[in-house]
Amino acid sequence: MHKGFLPITAQEIKELGWDRPDFVYVCGDAYVDHPSFGAAIITRVLEAAGFRIAFLAQPDYKSCEEFKKFGRPRLGFLVSAGNIDSMVAHYTAAKKKRSSDYYSPGGKAGKRPDRATIVYCNRIREAYGDVPIIIGGLEASLRRFAHYDYWSDNIRRSILVDSRADILTYGMGENILLRIATLLDKGVPVKKIRDVRGTVYLSAEGEKIHYPVAAEFDYNELKIDKRKYAEAFGVQYKNQDAINGKAIVEHYDGKLLVQNPPMPPLEREELDRVYSLPYMRTYHPVYEKDGGVPAIEEVRFSLTHNRGCFGACNFCALAFHQGRTVRSRSIESVLEEAKKITEMPDFKGYIHDVGGPTANFRYPACKKQLSEGVCSARKCLSPTPCRNLIADHSEYIKLIESIEALPRVKKVFIRSGIRFDYLLADSDESFFKKLVRDNVSGQLKVAPEHCSSAVLRCMGKPDFSVYEKFRKRYFELTKSFGKEQYLVPYLMSSHPGSTLADALELALCLKRDHYAPEQVQDYYPTPGTASTVMFYTGIDPLTMKKVYVATDYHEKQLQRALLQYNRPQNAPLVREALIKLGREDLIGFGPECLVRPEHERVQRPSTNAKKPSASAKKPSARTQSKGNNTRNSKQNSNKPTNSKNNRQRSKK
């Protein structure tokens, strides 16, 4: 196995004594050899299996010349846009161009093209014609079917069709690509590889399909019939389980696009092997002159212990990518990685996170999932926890305590998302108490998202009363341990189902709780989520019921302004929203009001009028410790989702 970074130049290939690589891995991100980056995992897994891999990071896409730098690879090209969708990397929810790129050297934008997977594949075709091309990563995975594209506001074809690649891999790709690489190495033509699970391919009409088919759809219908499109997504969502999932077919003018059933998730021993590979755990030194790659900072001293998520929020792409079945690494495996972190020269004694898609999941939600797969018509946690749910944090506690016992570790924090409804479902409070006592770095980020029951149902989230119960107990425990700690709730505006009245309900809830959020995340329709289908069709694809959607930009501004009603610049919008809702009673100077009148000097009450109490203006330390408040957060909502989770939430 090659020591050090994989070769990134033709000279390095020559020095290794290779005539050419087996595969060239083309990536839209800078080259970071860390297990929080999908490109690093895939290339190391293939290398460990004996394949020679060259890494081509952020190539000049304006011509095909740079794609020729290693020569024609023996087996083919592997192409990924990077850790997140290239359009999400480039544009905000308001479709404004981002000024920086978290995954590029020095955070500089412009190092990759829009729709990077398609552009890279077309350049490879220019360079080498019929060379095998396999695409994967989040962008390919979430665009594998006909999909609504927010940036062009239409239904685009599968990315496999537009990229002209040979095979698309979806989900977590280690075993998928090992199987494809082995077949190619044996001389099987890429056009004959048709039965690998976790792949999508194009074939001629009438060609044999190797698995039972759940449903067939025609792109020409999907692009004009919103109800049919919602129905198609519902079928796709229900067939993303390796045990009970079936093949799905889309017709494209005489060709069949076939998705084979998912590849089974990696079991514990397999995950342990993946994370034991010789990662360099940092970015390539070629980027030092640019100041490095910003994305490494968030994961440098963090550990990923699990995969998959049975939380199944409708705005999250995890269900469509990693899947709803949870698997985790052994305690021994995570400890070995933790020891490597403690030996890093700049380690200060703090493990920043022991998490994953959802930090406090270690096993499948119930025993039934191991033999029968996930339920197609029932979610594990929402609207209420399933009666078969096994809520048990005992092994997670043991994992955290084992890391805390390492010689150079001063403190272990948990910063990944905590499912507070799952935490409350555990009758044993041991983890809750430990979390509050030992593993919160001043503030804990949680995701109630909204307070309206109707909106939360559309989100696939628990009722707000569950969050209130969690918050109350959190502050009770905080006080009992003599600590001053806070909650930072993630909030989302304009999610499908949210009306202006729902936004007002949340604004009044925030006022009641003395919380003034500095950041509110506008709902962001990204490929591969049920919420995006709702946004485009006005239909919940999992129930086929109609959903209200705020698509007008001005209404979205009004909803967001209500959530930040205390900001002076939002005052005109807040007043407009309140007048629209017939709630002029909330415009004024009283303690219940959200905003002052437009002409304050004319309407200001006399100085003899009773003033709001200090407690109504600003929460005291006493009310904070009792849990009636949360602390303002300075989150950067424009920053792409943490890569270690392989997660792309639509709200980002």
- Of 600, 579, 577, nearest to 588 by C-alpha is 600
Task: Give the angle 637-640-644 at the CA atoms, nearest 5°.
Answer: 125
pLDDT digits (tens, 9 = 90+) for 9-19: 999 999 999 99
**Which tokens belong to 205?**
């009409």
Paired tokens of 99? 């000024």
Phi, psi of 139 (to 5 degrees): -60, -50
Write the CB contacts of 516 (distance below 8 Å, at least 6 apart in sequence): 510, 564, 566, 632
Tokens found for residue 620: 């005291």
Burial class (CB in 10 A: 0-12, 13-18, 19+), 107: middle
**Angle value at C-alpha 589, between 583 and 595, nearest 5 degrees:** 55
For residue 434, how many C-alpha atoms fall within 13 Å in the half-sphere facing its CB? 20
- Residues 229 and 146: beta-carbon distance below 8 Å: yes
Helices and strands per DSSP (H, E), number in the chain: 26, 22
CA separation, residue 209 to residues 143, 161, 297 (Å):
21, 18, 45
Token pair for residue 360?
A: 């406090």
Cα torsion through 553, 153, 91, 541, rounded to 10: 90
Residue reference for tokens 């698509």: 551
Q: Please state which CATH class domain 301-440 belongs to.
A: alpha beta
Q: State residue 569's pLDDT score.
A: 95
Sign of CA dihedral 285, 115, 302, 633: positive
Which of 438, 435, 451 lies closest to 490, judged by CA? 451
- Locate 295 and state its tokens: 């994305």
Q: Does domain 10-197 have CATH number 3.90.79.10?
A: no
Q: What is the pLDDT of residue 255?
A: 95
Which residues of the chain fall short of a pLDDT of 70? Answer: 1-2, 600-652
Q: Which DSSP category does 643 fall into?
A: G
Strands 147-149, 154-156: pairing kind: antiparallel
How many Å apart are CA 72 and CA 66, to the nearest integer? 12
The letter for the amino acid at 361 is F
Amino acid symbol at 559: Q
Q: What is the pLDDT of residues 118-141, one digit of tens each?
A: 999 999 999 999 999 999 999 999
Query: Among 489, 506, 488, which residue's Cα sits nearest to residue 497?
Result: 506
- According to DSSP, residue 649 is labeled B
For residue 96, give Cα distances in angstroms to 264, 289, 524: 39, 29, 12
In the structure encoding, which two tokens stand for residue 366, read together? 């119930």
How long is the chain? 652
Residues 6 or more apart whose Cβ sits within 8 Å of residue 234: 541, 542, 544
The pairing of strands 327-328 and 306-307 is antiparallel
- Which two three-digit tokens encode residue 301? 């001293």
Q: Which pTM value belongs to this model?
A: 0.90
Distance CA 445, CA 87 (A): 26
**The amino acid at 362:** R
- Predicted pLDDT of residue 644: 40
SS3 call for 479: helix
Q: Considering the chain, tell me which residue range(s) the CATH 3.30.750.210 domain(s) occupy.
A: 301-440
Residue keyed to tokens 């989302």: 492
Using an 8 Å Cβ cutoff, are 406 and 338 in contact? yes
